[in-house]
């Protein structure tokens, strides 16, 4: 091996130490790569959930990357003390020149450490809403929903968001705590309608399609309420009444699974349409205009002169 190194030194002008470090580097990278493949193979045999496999794969890649950096630095930078001053000046200039990439890297550390969201969570970052499908050093990726779609369903677009936006943009996590959300459906009937009957119909329909929480789910809601000081006194569907310009608005409020918002709304509307159609004393309200024709000197309520 030494003879080969000396021959390369004479042929290329690079020192023997350089080739030794290069050989050690190749060995380190190859060994760590092999160990990571073996570890993932063992994990995949025991873990059949694709989401868990994905998390383990990302975690393994992070660990291998950090070990590669540390071991390669130990090989190539044998005297750390002699370059401490240089690294200090270099890092100061690097912060100024690479502000955005470093901010994104800090955002990645924030995601790993504080866990504002996990893989599969539905989040909103600024104007973008979607399910988190990947987290990398400088950006994370979501499978976009809404956009030009009118409900919580995928648009087909994949959106990459810089990690640094977490420090400057408000975030919303739909899954944080428990995978349920409050859904509201406004239904408006005319003033002449039997609104009490309409309210009873809406409550009956909503109760059939609202999320029926198990005791375990209710206990989870209570735990999260204590943890984040968010209290829900009643988890059952309810109907709220208000008066609008052109009718009485009955707002259906119920809890549903995050992934069933559109489906539950669809089922409720179909039943409500059928029930109201069968009730002659209930009519949907819609914007209307009424015209009154009067005579000179008469109010609109006065009967016309004979």
Lowest mean pLDDT among 181-195, 216-230, 233-247: 216-230
pTM: 0.64
Higher pLDDT pick, 84 / 259: 259
Domain range annotation of the chain: 2-78, 109-173, 180-277
Q: Distance (Å, rounded) from C-alpha 131 to C-alpha 158?
A: 10
User: Under 8 Å CB-to-CB from 17, ≥6 apart: which residues?
Assistant: none
CATH 3.30.70.100 given to domain 180-277: yes
pLDDT(82) > 50: no
Spelled out in words, what is the top-level CATH class assigned to the domain 109-173? mainly beta
Other residues' Cβ atoms within 10 Å of the Cβ of residue 24: 15
- pLDDT 10s digits, 226-253: 666 666 667 789 999 999 988 999 999 9
- In this prediction, residues 275-279 reach a mean pLDDT of 94
pLDDT for 298 equals 55
Helix ranges restricted to H, the chain: 2-12, 16-46, 50-76, 84-97, 99-114, 195-209, 215-228, 261-277
- In this prediction, residues 72-100 reach a mean pLDDT of 62
- pLDDT 10s digits, 122-160: 999 989 999 999 998 889 999 999 888 888 889 999 999
Q: Distance (Å, rounded) from C-alpha 224 to C-alpha 226?
A: 5
85 to 33, 78, 79, 99, 129: CA distances (angstroms)? 33, 15, 12, 21, 45
Tokens of 137: 């050093």
Q: How far is CA 59 from the centre of its chain?
A: 20
- pLDDT 10s digits, 10-39: 656 556 666 677 788 888 889 988 988 888
Using DSSP's 3-state secondary structure scheme, residue 299 falls into: coil
């Amino acid at each position: 091996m030494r003879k080969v190194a000396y021959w390369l030194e004479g042929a290329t002008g690079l020192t023997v130490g350089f080739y030794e470090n290069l050989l050690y580097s190749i060995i380190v990278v190859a060994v760590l790569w092999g160990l990571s493949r073996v570890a993932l193979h063992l994990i995949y045999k025991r873990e059949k959930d694709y989401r868990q496999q994905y998390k383990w794969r990302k975690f393994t890649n992070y660990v291998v990357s950090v070990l590669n950096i540390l071991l390669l630095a130990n090989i190539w930078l044998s005297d750390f003390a002699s370059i401490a001053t240089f690294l200090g000046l270099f890092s100061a200039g690097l912060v100024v020149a690479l502000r955005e990439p470093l901010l994104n890297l800090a955002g990645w550390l924030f995601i790993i450490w504080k866990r504002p969201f996990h893989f599969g969570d539905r989040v909103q970052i600024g104007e973008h809403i979607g399910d988190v499908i990947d987290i990398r050093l400088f950006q994370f990726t979501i499978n976009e929903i809404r956009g030009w779609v009118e409900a919580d369903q995928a648009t087909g677009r994949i959106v990459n968001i810089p990690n640094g936006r977490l420090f400057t943009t408000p975030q919303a996590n739909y899954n944080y705590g428990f995978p349920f959300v409050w859904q509201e459906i406004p239904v408006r009937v005319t003033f002449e309608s039997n609104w009490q009957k309409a309210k009873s119909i809406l409550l009956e329909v909503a109760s059939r399609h609202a999320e029926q929480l198990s005791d375990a789910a209710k206990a989870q809601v209570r735990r999260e309420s204590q943890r984040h000081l968010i209290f829900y006194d009643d988890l059952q569907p309810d109907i709220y009444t208000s008066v609008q310009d052109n009718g009485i608005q009955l707002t259906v409020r119920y809890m549903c699974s995050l992934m069933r918002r559109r489906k539950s709304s669809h089922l409720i509307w179909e039943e409500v349409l059928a029930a109201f159609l069968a009730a002659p004393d209930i009519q949907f309200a819609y914007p209307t205009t009424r015209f009154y024709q009067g005579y000179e000197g008469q109010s609109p309520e006065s009967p016309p002169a004979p």
